[in-house]
Amino acid sequence: MDDRQLIEDLYSIAKPWFVSRVVLDPGTMRLDAYLDHDESCRWQCPTCQKEYCVSDHVKERVWRDLDSGIYHVYLHARIPRVQCPEHGKMQVTLPWTEKHSRFSMRFESLALRLMGDMDIKNSALILGITWFQAHGIMQRAVRRGLARKSSTPSRIGIDEKSYGKGHRYMTLVFNHDNLGVDFIVLGRREESLDQYYRSIGKDASSRINAVSLDMWDPYIASTRKHVESAHSKMVFDRFHIMKHMNMAVDGVRRQESALPKTREMLKKTRYIWLYSHENLPEKYRERYEELKQSDLKTARAYAIKENLRKLWTCESEDEARDFWRRWYWWASHSRLKPVIEAARTMLHYLYGILSYFTHRITNAMVEGMNSKIATVQKMAYGYRNLEHLKTAIYFHCGNLDMKF
């Protein structure tokens, strides 16, 4: 078997293509395979798939392929063009590479597996390519995945994510159906979320059945504007509701810590009050039992907060509504200003709290995805270019079909 036949077999070069010559350079550890094709072959127009004779060729191009041992392998070929009466002069589709790429599909598939497990910089180092070439491979994969998305999710989650320094945010829309990031846009204003709803169109927006989100008015206003019957479809996330109650408990603690008679008792107890009873670390348990038996206002606020958790254990909306009435009376008559204010805020958004018992979705998956996105940022030591960050998020968190 000669060198040309060996390369054809190793790299699956099939008719009408064949290897015309092979150049091996041990000094640079480079193998160059030059490809040619049968002159009599007819080629398909890449748009309409009709067959035509070759019109001419573009100048020779080079593609990096998988290494063979210690040698870097490069494929060389002149790309045929056909003259389609309907679509004009078009380059034909090549079986070993994607349009606009300078790597073979085999090489890009290996690169994608590496980048799925490590950062771009180290992946590029292993592959022997530049950071920008590796990012280009990722970008093309994301573009393929986004183009293959077949339908709009019926249930979405909306959240914000900070990036960079200062108060810089982006809005992320998550797909509850396939557990992936569906859309990313700069900012967290009403106009930011409007871009998502406009991108999917009015008909697709009307088919959304449930939306989980924080009690953030710009997102609420945008959802009301674009989603039919949004009032009954919005579900305010339990995590953020409890976050409001934690802030209220901490507000009571700070007020009480300012008093001389309770300052010492509340010293270094901030984090004790932020835990739920069942998740309290053992190192805090003894101190917690002591504080619970005290007559502290903070202890009363904590009891009100912990009791609210039982709301999500109710089996129906009617049971939850009855529970809410009792809890709200207790909270609003507690004479604890931060608790009263938090309870009144929740009363204003009660429709979205109780809609959980219809749709049974939360933003727990969204919060977990935010942690994964933070890991992606940390792996790359941050992204100065927002578009690069968006590409990385879609790649690692979009649950896209990016295969060739």
* Residue among 269, 285, 210, 273 at smallest CA distance from 247: 273
pLDDT in tens, the chain (404 residues): 588 898 989 899 999 999 999 999 999 999 999 999 998 899 999 999 999 999 999 999 999 999 998 999 999 999 999 999 999 999 999 999 998 899 999 999 999 999 999 889 999 999 999 999 999 999 999 999 999 987 889 999 999 988 877 678 999 999 998 889 999 999 999 999 999 999 999 999 999 999 999 999 999 999 999 999 999 999 999 999 999 999 999 999 999 999 888 888 888 888 889 888 888 888 888 888 888 778 899 999 999 999 999 999 999 999 999 999 999 999 999 999 999 999 999 999 999 999 999 999 998 888 788 888 888 887 765 567 788 889 999 999 999 999 98
Residue type, 64: R
Contact (CB, 8 A) for 28 and 128: no
Cα–Cα distance measured from residue 371 to residue 126, given in angstroms and rounded to the nearest whole number: 27
Is residue 253 packed enough to be buried (19+ CB in 10 Å), middle (13-18) or exposed (0-12)?
buried
Cα–Cα distance measured from residue 248 to residue 251, given in angstroms and rounded to the nearest whole number: 5
Cα–Cα distance measured from residue 350 to residue 347, given in angstroms and rounded to the nearest whole number: 5
Phi, psi of 76 (to 5 degrees): -115, 140
Phi, psi of 355 (to 5 degrees): -65, -15
Cα–Cα distance measured from residue 247 to residue 253, given in angstroms and rounded to the nearest whole number: 10
Report DSSP letters for 158-218, one per residue: EEEEE-SSSS-EEEEEEETTTTEEEEEEE--SHHHHHHHHHHHHHHHHHT--EEEE-S-HH
pLDDT score, position 275: 86
CA 90, 91, 93, 97 torsion-angle sign: negative
Residues for the chain: how many in total? 404
pLDDT score, position 378: 78
Cα–Cα distance measured from residue 59 to residue 80, given in angstroms and rounded to the nearest whole number: 9
* Residue among 8, 143, 132 at smallest CA distance from 68: 8
CA 173 from chain center: how many Å? 8
The rounded radius of gyration (Å) of the Cα atoms in the chain is: 30
pLDDT score, position 152: 82
Cα–Cα distance measured from residue 389 to residue 373, given in angstroms and rounded to the nearest whole number: 9
Contact (CB, 8 A) for 40 and 52: no
Q: Is the peptide bond before 16 cis (omega within 30 degrees of 0)?
A: yes
Structure tokens at 294: 């005290």
Cα–Cα distance measured from residue 83 to residue 96, given in angstroms and rounded to the nearest whole number: 22
pLDDT score, position 368: 81
The helix-helix angle for 190-206 and 217-226 (nearest 10°) equals 30
pTM of the predicted protein model: 0.87
Helix or strand or coil: residue 81?
A: strand
The helix-helix angle for 105-117 and 120-127 (nearest 10°) equals 140
Which residues are 32's β-sheet partners?
Answer: 23, 74
Q: Are strands 155-162 and 210-213 parallel, antiparallel or unpaired?
A: parallel
The helix-helix angle for 364-379 and 386-397 (nearest 10°) equals 120
* Residue among 96, 92, 93, 91 at smallest CA distance from 76: 96
Helix or strand or coil: residue 86?
A: coil
pLDDT score, position 1: 58
Helix or strand or coil: residue 63?
A: strand
Domains of the chain: 1-96 (no CATH), 155-237+362-397 (3.30.420.10), 242-359 (no CATH)
Cα–Cα distance measured from residue 314 to residue 362, given in angstroms and rounded to the nearest whole number: 15
pLDDT score, position 385: 78
Phi, psi of 62 (to 5 degrees): -125, 140
